[in-house]
Structure 1
Amino acid sequence: MGRISSDQLGTEPIGRLLVRQAVPASIGILVMSLNILVDTIFVGNWIGSIAIAAINVVLPVSFFIAALGMAIGIGGSSVISRALGADQKEKARKTFGNQISLTLLVTISMVALGLYFIDDLIPAFGGKGMIFEPAKIYYTIVLYGVPFLALCMMGNTVIRAEGKPRFAMIAMIIPSVGNLVLDYVFIYLFDWGMHGAAWATTAGYLLCFGYILYFFLSPNSELKIQAHHFALSTNILKEIGALGLVTLARQAVTSITFLLMNNILFELGGEAMVAVYAIIGRMLMFALFPVFGVTQGFLPVAGYNYGAHRYERVKESIYTAIKYASFMATLVFIGLMVFPEAITALFLSNRPDISEQELLTNSFVLENTPGAMRWVFAATPIIALQLIGAAYFQAVGKAVPALLLTLTRQGFFFIPLILILPRFMGEFGVWLSFPVADFLATVVTGYFLRKEVKHSLNIQS
């Protein structure tokens, strides 16, 4: 695939352009998701199912700090896409410089706070009983690498905003492959246990940062920034903040969801039930990679054409993205409905020296995960509308509806459901909350997206 200039986002046929943007994004997300999935399989087989639960406890904290970088990245990238579409390259460069400064300032502060309150945060997120000690080991090591992850997440979205999806894909592949290789070395060969899993993850972040830095210093990037671009600008920070708040709010609600889920499930079934959710959580990250890839590919296409006032192309990109993403979501749905038992078994150890406690935990997980997985993914075929709809408002710089629609699924529906349904339906109420929240959020998003296309885009056309 040759070099792509940003102005091609406004000239190529939408279908071809979405494929060109979405395929590399999907491959990158696939490899990153496979990394998380295989990493979890390695941990489950070489350390144990309690270790899977421990990592699940740590993820919300480390991912929230990393999401600060993603929020700054996506918020700034929306500004960059529209600036490039309007031929305002100096504004694009200034925005990128501000993104770097803001990411470093915010994430390093958050890491310091995260380490200071470590003994309070881990139990609060469900790291209780046998889960606490392995979670603390993993958390401490991984947190040191999170600022580099935040810079990678920020830089990756900017690479896409420039119309360079192949480089963004490579940036996601490098840390994933590195992490898996180092997992084998540190956990299996060196027998470092949780320490090995954590150091492999942190080293993967550093590898990704190295590649991102290389890209922006090379001739491949159009955003050649200078020292004065790093000076924070109030106007640019307001734009980045307003749009980045959408992503940050999404991840904040996701972290709250993990906190509630881990604690509710620990009360219902102890460490083993948390392990069930940990496996399902990995599948939520992995299985939907093609849908997320189309969504990521859609963002720069919609943003650039909106900035260039080509509203018919914006509408076409919405319809085409929903069509592609819905098809992918349906394929994912079929696979998960047919093979949940085989998927669950991949995460569980069959070592001959397994302890009796571990054997009991594995038996519980194998018995309970498949049914739960089917309910969690029951509404998968319709989620494309929900994701593309929220992404559209973010891409075109409409921060308030983007924020509200992003919060609809987890904040307005899912969290209330998991607080209410388990009181009456026990464990089943937890799993039923997933498809009900997906259905309600899709209906709401569909209503507002249809209204936007019918009134705003048609009038402007």
Structure 2
Amino acid sequence: MEKSILKNFTKYVSLNVLGMIGLSCYILADTFFISKALGATGIAALNFSIPVYSVMHGIGLMIGIGGATRYSIVKSQHQDQRANSIFSHCMGLGLLIGMLFVLIGIIGPKFLAVVLGADATTLPLTKTYLTTMLCFAPFFIINNVVLAFVRNDHNPNLPMIAMLVGSFSNIILDYIFMFPLKMGMFGAAFATGLAPIISISVLSIHFIKGENNFKFVRSKVYWSSIWDIFSLGLSSFITEVSSAVVLITFNLVILNLEGNLGVASYGIIANIALVGISIFTGIAQGIQPLISKAYGMSNNTVLEKIIKFALVTSLVIAVAIYFGVFFTSDGIIRIFNSEQNLKIAQLTKTGLRIYFIGFFFAGINIIISTYLSAIEQARNAFIISILRGCVVIVPSVLLLSRLWEMTGIWLAFVFTELIVTMIAIPIANSNKEVEIGDKRAGTLAHITIKS
């Protein structure tokens, strides 16, 4: 039995990690090409814009992961009509919220850019990037929703392919738009906006081949159903929004200490870290369908083994990432520091070697949060996510930057993840009984959560 669990774990996690790395390369590709075409000013402008991308991505994950979690649970209980309703509600929510972002992109990009920290130098580039990205918001959100449902529909291969194809397309289009066509910042944002459309096109194969076990149905929408979707996906949303909160806080504090060069340095670190965090998110998303199914079937043995596999995997990957970054920091900096600015190089090298210590704890926190959401412990998952997102990180940045300036800023991420891990592990280990199943469906069992 353990071999079977490990086989499923390896399959789902490896495919999702590959896919999430591809997805994270949306912004990393922009960072590389913008650094070559527009230098430090371009990187700073991109860094001011990324929080908006994180919020859009987070909303897509919240609706997708939340809806797919409930879908997987009710599907395992053979409630097909309800499963179809959940999918339909998620798609409707994604389109509605996406259109609100489009409206913001049309009427308020300049105000938004200023709020995010752009100054006279970076404002034109930041505004251009934000306007373009926001106009593609419906596609970013719907892509995440469909990815989650197809993954939970016993087809983890296709989402991985879709994310990788979208990412590679983004890289190619970035080059074409920014160099041969010389479209500048708009070209970078336009390439990124086209990527989810390409990904959705790949995902449509699942429907064209008739492999989908869910479909659109007309059903009455209840606020309780919407809240159920949001609550189950809330930790995923908070995880992504925490990136936005951290970026905004760091950007403003660093702007005060080191100006746009400091923000550019942090932009390099943050965008590389985005790839690392995506690996942990990939592990978490990979185990979510397995956990939700086991939870719906009241299989406590599978739940325990999956969480153990996930935590060990995250620690191994954290070690590999940290030492990889530590020993290759000079090469990494040369790739993104196209102007070979000495100040940026010095700040980035120190930052990489301190900031990435936090990865030893970040993976644990992301996995535990997703695990708790998948077993309907949304409150505990929310606590972990909100601690990472703002409750600990914001005061840490403000306090430690006063004590040790830039070194304190890099340490703030490490300190935050460590503190949250010290809280998350006892929550996961608590012998608290939780209900399995759906009361409304008439099924109820109990398990004890243990690591």
Matches within 5 A, 1:305-324: 305-324=294-313
Q: Which deviates more, 282-291 or 309-318?
A: 282-291
Map 1:310-459 → 2, pairs under 5 A: 310-349=299-338, 362-452=341-431, 457-458=447-448
Please say which of residues 107-116 and 48-57 is displaced more in the overlay: 107-116
Cα distance per residue 1:382-428 (max 9 Å; x no partner): 33322221111111112111111111223221111012111222121
- The 10-residue stretch of structure 1 (334-343 or 253-262) with the greater mean CA deviation from structure 2: 253-262
- Contact 1:410–1:437 (Cα < 8 Å) also in 2: no
Report how far residue 217 of structure 1 moved: 4.2
Shift of 1:94: 0.8
| Counterpart code for 2:91 | I
RMSD of aligned alpha carbons: 2.1
Q: 1:75 aligns with which of 56, 63, 66?
A: 66
Closer, same or farther: CA 385–250 of 1 in aligned 2, 3 Å: closer
| 1:133 Cα deviation after fit | 0.8
1:184 to 175, 185, 202: 175
In structure 2, the partner of 1:355 is none
Show structure 2 runs of 5+ residues with no match: 435-445
Does residue 102 in structure 1 map to residue 106 in structure 2?
A: no
Task: Answer yes or no: is the 8 Å Cα contact 1:125–1:258 preserved in 2.
Answer: no
| Equivalent residue, structure 1, for 2:225 | 236
Q: CA deviation at 1:378?
A: 1.2
Q: Map 1:28-427; keep pairs closer than 5 Å.
A: 28-226=19-217, 228-229=218-219, 231-349=220-338, 362-427=341-406
How far did residue 348 of structure 1 move? 2.1
Q: Moved runs in structure 1, 4+ residues, more than 6 A?
A: 453-456
Q: Quote the residue 1:3 is aligned against.
A: none
Kindly tell me: are residues 185 and 392 of structure 1, through their superposed partners in 2, closer, same or farther at Cα, counting changes over 3 Å? same
Q: Matches of 1:171 and 1:28 in 2, distance apart?
A: 8
Aligned match of 2:13: 22
Match in the other structure for 1:4: none
Return the letter of the residue paired with 1:259: I
Residues 459 and 433 from structure 1, CA distance in 2 versus in 1: closer, same or farther, beyond 3 angstroms? closer
Q: How far apart in 1 are the matches of 2:448 and 2:375?
A: 15
* Per-residue Cα deviation, 1:156-182 (whole angstroms, up to 9, x for no partner): 111122221101101211221111111
Opposite residue 69 of structure 2, the aligned amino acid is S
Amino acid at match of 1:124: V
Q: Partner residue of 1:352?
A: none
Q: Which amino acid aligns with 2:109?
A: I
Question: TM-score when scaled to structure 1?
Answer: 0.90
- Distance in 2 (alpha carbons) for counterparts of 1:290 and 1:118: 31
Q: How big is the shift at 1:313?
A: 0.9
Residue identity matched to 2:370: A
Cα distance in 2, alignment partners of residues 121 and 386 from structure 1:
30
Q: Deviations over 1:235-264 (max 9, x none)?
A: 321210222333333333332222211111
Q: Contact (CA 8 Å) 1:161, 1:300: kept in 2 or not?
A: yes
Query: Aligned letter for 1:159?
Result: V
Q: Matches of 2:148 and 2:3 in 1, distance apart?
A: 21
Instruction: Write the distance in 2 (CA, Å) between the matches of 1:346 and 1:188.
Output: 17
Q: How far 1:334 sits from its partner (Å)? A: 1.3
One-letter code aligned to 1:104: L
What is the aligned-residue identity percentage? 24
Q: Quick one: distance in 2 between partners of 1:223 and 1:109?
A: 27
CA deviation digits over 1:97-152, x for unaligned, max 9? 00001111122123313432222211111211311111111111121112111100
> 1 CA distance for matches of 2:415 and 2:189?
35
Unaligned residue ranges in structure 1 (runs of 5+): 1-9, 350-357
Distance 1:443 1:306 in 2: 25
Contact map agreement 1:55 1:138 (CA 8 A) in 2: yes
1:198-230 CA-partner distances (Å, limit 9, x unpaired): 22112222212322344334312211333x14x
More deviation in 407-416 or 387-396? 407-416
Counterpart amino acid of 1:272? Answer: L
Give the secondary-structure state (helix, strand or coil) at the position aligned to 1:13: helix
Given that 1:69 and 1:107 are in contact with CA atoms closer than 8 Å, whether structure 2 keeps it comes out as: no
Aligned residue pairs total 439
TM-score calculated relative to the size of structure 2: 0.92
Conservation of the 8 A alpha-carbon contact between 2:89 and 2:221: yes
How far residue 297 of structure 1 moved from its aligned partner, in angstroms, is: 0.9
Is the alpha carbon distance of 1:434 and 1:422 closer, same or farther for their aligned partners in structure 2, counting shifts above 3 Å?
A: same
